[in-house]
């Protein structure tokens, strides 16, 4: 299977929608199609903004569409930190680790049939997505992915399946890499965890103690539940110096990149003349053309870059990115992912995905309430017979009063 990032701007929405498309390499690959279906089902039951929402599963095309927000992977951010483009403060690192831990905890909280829980099993910087507004998303939930042996916990190397405690080990390995800018294990054979944490034992003893436990070789020696792991990260963040810059991280990085590239070619062009040059009234100088780069589909879900032509097997028809249609490759025809065959009856429409904070959607989702019946005001809404009876009683009372007063006189 391959992963693509696509951008659609067909005029049907106020803002273009970004989507991640995971596509089977062969349309007849039933195993890959079932893997995509399993990933779709896992994403459907996880309700957390830190996990991408599924837009639709297309069995006929062997594709899964997931919502994506503008941003870049943590792996790219760490490369920029290594190059000195930007720095990560300890508070920012711990804040990122906490957001990842909360996302993973939301995934683990889903209870499947047979009391089974969803384990990610392939956590790493390349599967953590940082959005431009400072949010953190965990990619690859429910997906069948390949991971390097050096990134797997010890029990996985012995043939054990992915587990929640294995996810904790991989989160701790990511935290180590964010702090030291080096992977925990670069290759085989692995050194001991104690040897790798030796430098942190002196520089950050509190952090080292947390990592020693989360990176224990035996799963039962780690934090028993996600809540305890998150509590340990909270304690580290509370005792850290400085303020987290998670929400300003990507805007600052993009500004640094722009400054490093220098001014755009369009800004270096001479100003457009207001009229024809003197002595040559027939000469007309056309305005400079826009040099803004077009977005292209990028394999692996990385950020959009300048368009240098479509990758092999993909045709780009601006402004919509299209998927290859294996059934019509003889005629070199492709179709937009929006135009795929309708999803299964129990799947949401991929073109109509309401936002959670939409007041209209929230109002429709609320159960219908019975109409409120207010008590009638006094003297309003009474029947005529009731009014006459009240008047007769009042007249009788007045007559009795006058009769008593006459007897007294």
Per-residue pLDDT for the chain (409 aa), expressed as one digit of tens each?
677 766 666 666 555 578 888 888 888 889 999 999 999 999 999 999 999 999 999 988 889 999 988 999 999 999 999 999 999 999 999 999 999 999 999 999 998 877 889 999 999 999 999 999 999 999 999 998 989 999 999 999 999 999 999 999 999 999 999 999 999 998 788 999 999 999 999 999 999 999 999 999 999 999 999 999 999 999 999 998 889 999 999 999 999 998 888 776 655 555 544 444 444 333 333 344 333 333 333 344 444 444 444 333 332 223 333 333 333 333 333 334 333 333 333 333 333 333 344 443 344 344 444 443 334 444 444 556 767 778 888 888 888 877 877 776 5
User: What's this model's pTM, rounded to 2 decimal places?
Assistant: 0.65
Beta bridge partners of 6: 19
Q: Is 111 exposed, middle or buried (0-12, 13-18, 19+ CB in 10 A)?
A: exposed
Q: Is 190 exposed, middle or buried (0-12, 13-18, 19+ CB in 10 A)?
A: middle
DSSP result, 184-238: S--SSSP--HHHHTHHHHHH-HHHHHHHHHHT-SSGGGS-SSHHHHHHHHHHHHH
The verdict on whether omega for the bond into residue 189 sits within 30 degrees of 0, i.e. cis, is yes
Cβ atoms 42, 116 nearer than 8 A = no
Alpha carbon of 280 to those of 270, 273, 276, 284, 288: distances in Å? 19, 13, 7, 9, 20
**Residue that has been written with the tokens 């995905």 in this structure:** 353
Cβ atoms 16, 7 nearer than 8 A = yes
Q: How many CB atoms lie within 10 A of CB 371?
A: 5
Rounded-to-integer distance, Cα 1 and Cα 299, Å: 11
Rounded-to-integer distance, Cα 217 and Cα 166, Å: 10
Q: Report helix, strand or coil for 93.
A: helix
Cβ atoms 139, 178 nearer than 8 A = no
């Amino acid at each position: 299977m391959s992963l693509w990032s696509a951008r659609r701007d067909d005029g049907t929405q106020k803002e273009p929608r970004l989507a991640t498309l995971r596509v089977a390499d062969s349309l007849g690959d039933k195993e890959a199609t079932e893997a995509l279906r399993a990933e779709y089902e896992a994403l459907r039951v996880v309700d957390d903004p830190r996990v991408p929402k599924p837009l639709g599963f297309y069995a006929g095309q062997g594709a899964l569409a997931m919502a994506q927000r503008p941003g870049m992977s943590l792996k790219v951010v760490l490369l920029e930190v290594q190059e000195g483009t930007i720095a990560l403060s300890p508070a920012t690192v711990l804040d990122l680790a906490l957001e990842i831990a909360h996302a993973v905890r939301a995934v683990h909280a889903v209870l499947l049939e047979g009391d089974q829980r969803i384990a990610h099993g392939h956590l790493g910087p390349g599967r953590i997505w940082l959005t431009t507004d400072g949010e953190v998303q965990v990619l690859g939930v429910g997906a069948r992915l390949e991971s390097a042996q050096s990134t797997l916990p010890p029990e996985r190397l012995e043939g054990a399946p992915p587990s929640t405690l294995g996810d904790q080990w991989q989160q701790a390995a990511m935290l180590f890499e964010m702090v030291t800018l080096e992977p925990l294990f670069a290759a085989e054979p692995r050194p001991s965890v104690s040897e790798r944490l030796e430098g942190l034992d002196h520089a950050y003893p509190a952090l080292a103690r947390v990592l020693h436990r989360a990176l224990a070789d035996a799963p039962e020696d780690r934090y028993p539940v996600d809540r305890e792991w998150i509590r340990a990260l909270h304690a580290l963040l509370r005792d850290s110096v400085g303020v987290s810059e998670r929400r300003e991280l990507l805007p600052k990085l993009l500004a640094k990149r722009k400054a490093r590239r220098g001014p755009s070619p369009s800004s270096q062009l001479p100003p457009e003349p207001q009229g024809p040059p003197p002595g040559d009234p027939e000469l007309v100088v056309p305005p400079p053309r826009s040099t803004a780069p077009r977005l292209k589909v990028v394999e692996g879900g990385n950020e959009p870059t300048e368009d240098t032509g479509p990758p092999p097997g993909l045709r780009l028809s601006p402004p919509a990115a299209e998927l290859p249609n294996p059934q019509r490759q003889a005629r070199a025809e492709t179709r937009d992912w929006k135009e795929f065959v309708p999803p299964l009856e129990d799947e949401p429409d991929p073109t109509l995905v309401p936002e959670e904070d939409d007041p209209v959607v929230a109002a429709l989702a609320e159960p219908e309430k019975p109409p409120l019946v207010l008590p009638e005001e006094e003297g309003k809404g009474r029947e005529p017979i009731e009014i006459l009876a009240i008047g007769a009683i009042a007249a009788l009372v007045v007559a009795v009063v006058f009769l008593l007063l006459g007897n007294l006189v």
